[in-house]
Amino acid sequence: MTTFDIARARAETPGVAHVLHFNNAGAALMPQPVLTASQHYLQREAEIGGYETADEYADQLSHAYTSAATLINAHSAEIAFVENATRGWDLFFYGLAATFKPGDRILTSRSEYVSNVIAFLQVAERTGAVIEVIPCDATGQIDVDAFANMLDQRVKLVAITHVPTNGGLVNPAAAIGALTRPAGIPYLLDACQSVGQFPVDVEAIGCDLLSTTGRKYLRGPRGTGFVYARSATMSQLVPPFLDVHAATWDATDHYVVRSDAQRFENWETNYAGKIGLATAIDYALGWGLDAIGARVLQLAQLLRTQLAQIPGVTLCDLGVNPCGIVTFTHAQWSPEQIKARLASQRINVTTSSQFGTRYDMEARNLAMVVRASVHYYNDEAEIMRFVAVLAG
């Protein structure tokens, strides 16, 4: 087992004294430094004013871009902070979709998330573009060979989810990038459930655009996120809307869009949340993403092993090396019944249904699953308690 200071991790997570939290892919428990940073910022706003606090924190706010860039191996000019990952993803997608024509192809994964697919459908209706789902291989992940055979000049976007909402799957993001980059096809990666769970390197992956959230594995506040836009791609991508932060009004009849990724930001933002997310990123970097990834994987493997021994439980995860999201069904209890029963014991899980990933759930004939997602501050005793309550 990898050495990990679990005592420190739990001591710095106030929530573990109150709940057994296996809903980290929904919203993880914030560590105390993140909570303190956000509270102090809000307190300072109350004391001296909002604009004045932003001026006082100018260095820390600027540092946030460096931290996020370090986290995913990007440049700070390629980072923008947004109110949530969906809004950031939308800015990229709708900016690209403005040029779509009838017959243009959007390639996506079978496990793509509902919000993304709804956007695909809306743009397809407007433009005549077509949505095509990349086949899966025998493990349930994207079939890279099949994907390679789908590429042609009509493919205008490849948009996939790195870690889907409804299982332990980790899609082969780097293998996709190795094909899209030489072909010059824009590649948009939804990394909401991968960033913070294990190392994510945009250079190794080869994506042009990436969106992620603060509340999940990064353990930041809700209502926060950031996006990455590769410099070469960003110069060709004008946001679907602009404001005084994103552009400069340099003459009565002219404006200039920012040259960096902050063209995707708004002038007004949640500064306390931004400070909290920046603190969460630094906190994760302090632990090390390799160490976090190894710890999460150890816990998930233990949980899967224990669940497999409970009569009536069927694991539903896909992929070659499943991650920290563990899904299952029970022969006698519905997922909602299990969620409610666990909640009565102060154990947090959630459910995932066809509503969220219809392509995949329908293909596997699944209506709903229980989703238990672990993080590094969880411990082995919690897993054994979880399994004991479920078995009982």
> Given a cut of 60, is residue 50 above it in pLDDT?
yes
In the predicted model, what is the mean pLDDT of residues 158-177? 97
pLDDT for position 9: 98
pLDDT for position 125: 97
Torsion over CA: 235, 240, 242, 245 (sign): negative
The C-alpha atoms of residue 376 and residue 294 are separated, in whole angstroms, by 9
Phi (first) and psi of residue 228, to 5 degrees: -120, 135
CB of 81 closer than 8 Å to CB of 263? no
Question: pLDDT tens across 320-359, in order?
Answer: 999 999 999 999 999 999 999 999 999 999 999 999 999 9
Q: Which DSSP string corresponds to 196-253?
A: TTB---HHHHT-SEEEEESSSTT---SS-EEEEE-HHHHTT---SS--TTTEEEEETT
- Tokens encoding 234: 């960003």
Domains in the chain and their CATH numbers?
A: 6-27+288-391 (3.90.1150.10), 34-286 (3.40.640.10)
> Given a cut of 50, is residue 209 above it in pLDDT?
yes
In the predicted model, what is the mean pLDDT of residues 36-45? 98
Burial class of 118 by CB neighbour count within 10 A (0 to 12, 13 to 18, 19+): exposed
The C-alpha atoms of residue 51 and residue 158 are separated, in whole angstroms, by 40
Average pLDDT, the chain: 96
In the predicted model, what is the mean pLDDT of residues 173-193? 98
Question: pLDDT tens across 108-119, in order?
Answer: 999 999 999 999
Return the percentage of the chain with pLDDT > 70, whole number.
99
Question: pLDDT tens across 265-294, in order?
Answer: 999 999 999 999 999 999 999 999 999 999
Phi (first) and psi of residue 222, to 5 degrees: -70, 155
Question: Any idea what the Cα angle at residue 182 is, between residues 76 and 117, rounded to 5°?
Answer: 70
In this structure, the number of other CB atoms found within 10 A of the CB of residue 220 comes to 32
SS3 192: coil
> Given a cut of 70, is residue 148 above it in pLDDT?
yes
In the predicted model, what is the mean pLDDT of residues 206-225? 98
pLDDT for position 392: 86
Return the percentage of the chain with pLDDT > 90, whole number.
96
> Given a cut of 90, is residue 127 above it in pLDDT?
yes
In the numeric block, the tokens 């969906």 are attached to 86
Confidence category of residue 236, pLDDT binned at 50, 70, 90: confident
In eight-state DSSP terms, residue 30 is P
Length of the chain (residues): 392
Q: 186: Cβ–Cβ under 8 A, 6 or more apart, which residues?
A: 96, 156, 157, 158, 180, 208, 209, 233
Provide the pairing of β-strand 347-348 with 20-21. Answer: parallel
In the predicted model, what is the mean pLDDT of residues 125-148? 97
Q: Which DSSP string corresponds to 93-157?
A: HHHHHTT--TT-EEEEETT--HHHHHHHHHHHHHH--EEEEEPB-TTSSB-HHHHHHH--TTEEE
Q: Which DSSP string corresponds to 257-306?
A: E-SSGGGGS-SS--HHHHHHHHHHHHHHHHH-HHHHHHHHHHHHHHHHHH
> Given a cut of 50, is residue 1 above it in pLDDT?
no
In the predicted model, what is the mean pLDDT of residues 133-149? 97
